[in-house]
Amino acid sequence: MPKLPPLLDGFDTFRARYFDGASPLYSELALSGQKPHTLFVACSDSRVDPAILFNVEPGEFFVVRNVANLVPPYQPDGGLHGTSSAIEYAVRDLLVSQIVVCGHSNCGGIDALVRGLNGEVIAREFIGPWVSIAEEAVRPHCQSSSKEAEQAGVLSSLSNLKTFPWIQARLNDGSLELHGLWFDLAAGELVVLDQPPAIIS
Ligand SMILES: [Zn+2]
């Protein structure tokens, strides 16, 4: 079955919603530029699309998606830091007012990390080194439920965000907030990982 035609139908629906009508959103966004309020860090998992989960319009979220919604520590070494470059643009140029890191249940990336910590050999070239970003945070939870490991991964990303000096400066002057979320995709519940944790269902 061809995969592209249904996508093109979807694009027609998108055009009708955002380009036609009396005040098409994209004319405004093209004219005035993007001013997203939130940098949203989510997993690449196909079940956790941030715009769908949080019902936001184009222009609201600047999104970084990667395996296991991880943020590496500040490391200005000239390496190929895709996630850090997106964070830098959102924080220093777009001046978002909050960064939200959202983990989720059934996360394959965190599962790979946990299995690796439990001695299993992960026969992939890039996944193991990438998810090792959260190794220290997740290690104490690698014998517990996957939920605990996934939530520890989110907290690790929040903690790594604070190692970026220009994030720390904006936290200090009160112009930026950091928040952690964890989405249970079987239960349809959202856990806010700020202190104290709260479940929103
Ligand atoms: Zn995931």
Each residue of 178-188: pLDDT tens digit?
999 999 999 99
Instruction: Return the structure tokens found at 63.
Output: 């999104």
Is the domain of 22 the same as that of 42? no
Which pLDDT value is given to residue 190? Answer: 98
Smallest CA-to-CA distance from 62 within 96, 92, 32, 88 is with 96
Give the integer Cα–Cα distance in Å for 171 and 107.
29
Ligand 1 mean position, distance from CA 22 (Å): 39
61 and 102 both lie in a single domain? yes
CA of 130 to the centre of ligand 1 (A): 13
- Identify whether residues 51 and 19 lie together within a single domain: no
Q: 46 C-alpha to center of ligand 1: Å?
A: 9
Distance 127 CA to ligand 1 centre (A): 12
Cα 51 to Cα 40: distance, rounded to the nearest angstrom: 10
Provide the domain count of the chain: 2
Handedness of CA 26, 27, 33, 35 (dihedral sign): negative
pLDDT at 38: 98
Q: Is the same domain home to 105 and 169?
A: yes
Q: Can you give the pLDDT at residue 192?
A: 97
Give the contacts of 81 (CB within 8 A, at least 6 positions apart): 72, 75
Say how many Å lie between the CA of residue 86 and the centre of ligand 1.
19
Q: 43 or 17: which carries more pLDDT confidence?
A: 43
Q: How far is the CA of 201 from the centre of ligand 1 (A)?
A: 20
Q: Is 155 exposed, middle or buried (0-12, 13-18, 19+ CB in 10 A)?
A: middle
Q: Does 198 score more than 90 pLDDT? A: no
Give me the domain span that covers residue 127: 34-200
Residue 21: what pLDDT? 77
Computed over every residue of the chain, the mean pLDDT equals 94
Find the CATH number of the domain harbouring 79.
3.40.1050.10
Query: What's the 104 CA to ligand 1 centre distance in angstroms?
Result: 6
Same structural domain for residues 20 and 53?
Answer: no
Same domain, 80 and 106: yes
Please indicate, yes or no, whether residues 50 and 75 belong to a single structural domain of this protein: yes
The pTM assigned to this predicted structure is 0.94
Amino acid at 100: V
CA distance 35 to 56: 13
CA 47–ligand 1 middle distance (angstroms): 9
CA of 16 to the centre of ligand 1 (A): 32
- Distance, CA 189 to ligand 1 centroid (Å)? 16
